[in-house]
């Protein structure tokens, strides 16, 4: 029998600093989620056709449920690690690892996908700079057709982000905040200008009636559309570096959830009322720039401005991928899921420099491999959706389980619609919307596997490769592979609330534990 022991490494000395403000917390999420429409619009339109608005709305409602779940969990457990941490705490080490492998895939793909997309929007200016379209830089490489210039641009952007993240959370958060406010203003302006100068409701209605997709294309487009909303995890990943997280996280998460939903549905509805869906499908690398260029009167300015805007927001979205991967693996290194080597924090910058370098390198490898496929954007999008929906499904299960296993931790925010009943000697609130969310995300996850070969093969292979490392490391350390090492969650929760300076919640938590202990004594 494997020897069980405490998983947290005793040598950890340097911790992450709480540097992220309320605006910084919002922009960490918006930088990731808000950028997704710039990527997804063309990909989704290629399959959703005239039903694109409905597809974005369905994916968006699922995202709202995900947002509500993360709001509760991140404000209750303000530590780095996000969904995998909640899963580890509720379902055990193995399932925490499974959730982590999925979201780690999403984060590393995030680095690649959004850097590729950022370069794609920069390439909108290619005809003006070099007098050529980006498609003219494709070369034959054996059986592959590779766009070498686009690939080199992408790798250069990733290298810049690696340097930025090593410098520190404060610097990279500041980048998000500055660029993010510009993006929000310009996105809002783009919608208003489009509705005033270019939107034709009869074109929207015509495409809805005459160009509705087949059921197979519709379901596949929903699985693609979910990438428009993935990224809320970033707020929870930065929870351990957020000031007063129990107060800040509910505000930022809810604001982010509904603002991104509005933007995604608005852009798809605007697009179908301005151009045929085929135009977006033909320009998956910069669909919003094409949309803005078609506006009468203002198109000559709006098009280039939107291209620059897209490049900026996608650049900082790729930045959140590096941040998320590094903070997730930093958290896992403390709980015996991966080696403590990954958890070392730089003495000067106080950032997990080793995880930043290792997983950014994985993102670079994924970028190179994706350029060898027929559609670099679609390949990365499917892998992104596979990893995220796998992790999100387990997060909903974790939320339900934690309501039973840890009713003592104060919850500054609770997901709505709860069913009250008694469980043993406890009064438990069962979250109905969490069950609905689990079924919705699980359905999208199954569609990704059933409808796409890359998702069906490459996704599980990634999880298997991660499991090989996980099993090897756990065996080497004398930890069980399928069972959990010992964790003192109550002691950790007290330390977390103390570190976060959430003293009111800390007092509530200690009082709840004291009441529980009194009941146990009376029952003996």
Burial letters 151-165, b for 16+ CB under 10 A, else e: bebbbebbeebbebb
Q: What is the pLDDT of residues 426-465, one digit of tens each?
A: 788 999 999 999 999 999 999 899 888 888 899 999 999 9
Rg (CA), the chain: 23
What is the C-alpha to C-alpha distance for residues 28 and 452, in angstroms, rounded to an integer?
30
pLDDT at 1: 39
When pLDDT is averaged across residues 240-269 and rounded to a whole number, the result is 79
Tokens of 326: 């590094």
Start-to-end Cα distance in the chain? 32
Nearest one of 476, 90, 434 to 99, comparing CA atoms:
90
Tens digits of residue pLDDT in 132-168 = 888 888 888 778 888 899 999 999 999 988 887 777 6
Predicted confidence (pLDDT) at residue 521 exceeds the cutoff of 60: yes
Question: DSSP alpha helices (H): ranges in 345-431?
Answer: 353-370, 376-405
Q: CA–CA separation, 218 vs 209, rounded Å?
A: 14
Query: Residue 402 is encoded by which pair of tokens?
Result: 């934690």
CATH 1.20.1740.10 corresponds to the domain 22-487: yes
Give tens-digit pLDDT for 280-335. Answer: 999 999 999 999 999 998 999 999 999 998 898 888 778 778 877 877 887 788 88
Tokens of 186: 């310009």
- Would strands 418-423 and 426-431 be described as parallel, antiparallel, or unpaired? antiparallel
State whether the Cα torsion 149-154-155-157 is positive or negative. Answer: positive
**Would you place residue 241 in the very low, low, confident or very high pLDDT band (cuts 50, 70, 90)?**
low
Provide the 10 A C-beta neighbour count for residue 127: 12
pLDDT single digits (tens) 84-100? 899 999 999 999 999 99
The pLDDT tens digits for 370-425 are 999 888 999 999 999 999 999 999 999 999 999 999 999 999 999 999 999 887 77
- The two tokens of residue 159 are 């290298």
The pLDDT score that the predictor gives to residue 12 is: 43
Confidence of residue 2 (pLDDT cuts 50, 70, 90): very low
- pTM for the full predicted model: 0.86
DSSP 132-178: S-GGGGEEEETTEEEEHHHHHHHHHHHHHHHHHHHH-HHHHHHHHHH
Given a cut of 60, whether residue 16 has pLDDT beyond it is no
Are the C-beta atoms of residues 451 and 459 closer than 8 Å to each other?
Answer: no
Rounded-to-integer distance, Cα 122 and Cα 479, Å: 48
Q: List the domain boundaries for the chain.
A: 22-487
């Amino acid at each position: 029998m494997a020897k069980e022991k405490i998983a947290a490494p005793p040598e950890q000395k340097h911790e992450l600093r709480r540097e992220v403000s309320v605006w910084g917390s919002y922009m960490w999420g918006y930088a990731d989620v808000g950028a997704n429409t710039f990527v997804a619009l063309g990909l989704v339109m290629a399959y959703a056709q005239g039903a694109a608005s409905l597809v974005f709305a369905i994916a968006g409602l699922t995202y709202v449920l995900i947002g509500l779940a993360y709001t509760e969990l991140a404000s209750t457990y303000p530590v780095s690690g996000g969904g995998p941490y909640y899963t580890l705490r509720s379902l055990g080490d193995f399932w925490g690892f499974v959730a982590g492998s999925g979201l780690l895939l999403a984060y590393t793909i995030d680095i690649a996908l959004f850097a590729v997309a950022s370069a794609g929007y920069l390439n909108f200016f290619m005809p003006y700079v070099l007098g050529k379209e980006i498609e003219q830089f494709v070369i034959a490489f054996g059986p592959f057709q590779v766009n070498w210039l686009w690939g080199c641009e992408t790798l250069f952007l990733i290298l810049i982000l690696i340097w930025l993240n090593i410098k520190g959370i404060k610097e990279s958060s500041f980048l998000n905040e500055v660029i993010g406010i510009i993006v929000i203003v310009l996105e809002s302006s783009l919608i208003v200008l489009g509705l005033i100068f270019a939107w034709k409701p009869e074109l929207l209605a015509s495409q809805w009636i005459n160009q509705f997709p087949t059921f197979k294309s519709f379901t596949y487009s929903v699985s693609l559309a979910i990438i428009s909303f993935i990224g809320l995890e970033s707020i929870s990943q930065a929870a351990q570096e957020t000031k007063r997280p129990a107060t800040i996280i509910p505000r930022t998460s809810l604001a982010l959830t509904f603002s991104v939903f509005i933007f995604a549905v608005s852009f798809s509805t605007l697009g179908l009322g301005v151009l045929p869906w085929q135009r977006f499908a033909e320009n998956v690398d910069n669909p919003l720039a094409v949309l803005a260029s078609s506006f009468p009167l203002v198109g000559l300015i709006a098009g280039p401005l939107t291209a620059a805007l897209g490049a900026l927001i996608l650049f900082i979205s790729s930045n959140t991928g590096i941040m998320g991967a590094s903070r997730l693996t930093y958290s896992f290194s403390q709980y015996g899921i991966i080696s403590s080597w990954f958890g070392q924090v730089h003495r000067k910058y106080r950032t997990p420099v080793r995880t930043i370098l290792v997983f950014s390198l994985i993102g670079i490898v994924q970028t190179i491999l994706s350029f060898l496929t027929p559609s670099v954007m679609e390949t990365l999008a499917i892998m992104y959706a596979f990893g995220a929906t796998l992790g999100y499904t387990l997060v909903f299960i974790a939320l339900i389980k934690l309501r039973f296993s840890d009713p003592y931790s104060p919850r500054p925010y609770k997901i709505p619609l709860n069913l009250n009943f008694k469980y043993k000697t406890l009064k438990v609130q069962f979250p109905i919307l969490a069950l609905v969310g689990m079924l919705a995300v699980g359905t999208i996850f199954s569609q990704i596997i059933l409808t796409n070969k890359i998702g069906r093969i490459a996704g599980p292979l990634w999880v298997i490769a991660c499991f090989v490392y996980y099993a090897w490391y756990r065996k080497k350390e004398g930890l069980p592979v399928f069972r959990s090492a010992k964790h003192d969650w109550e002691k950790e929760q007290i330390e977390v609330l103390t570190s976060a300076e959430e003293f009111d919640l800390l007092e509530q938590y200690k009082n709840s534990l004291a009441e529980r202990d009194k009941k146990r004594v009376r029952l003996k």
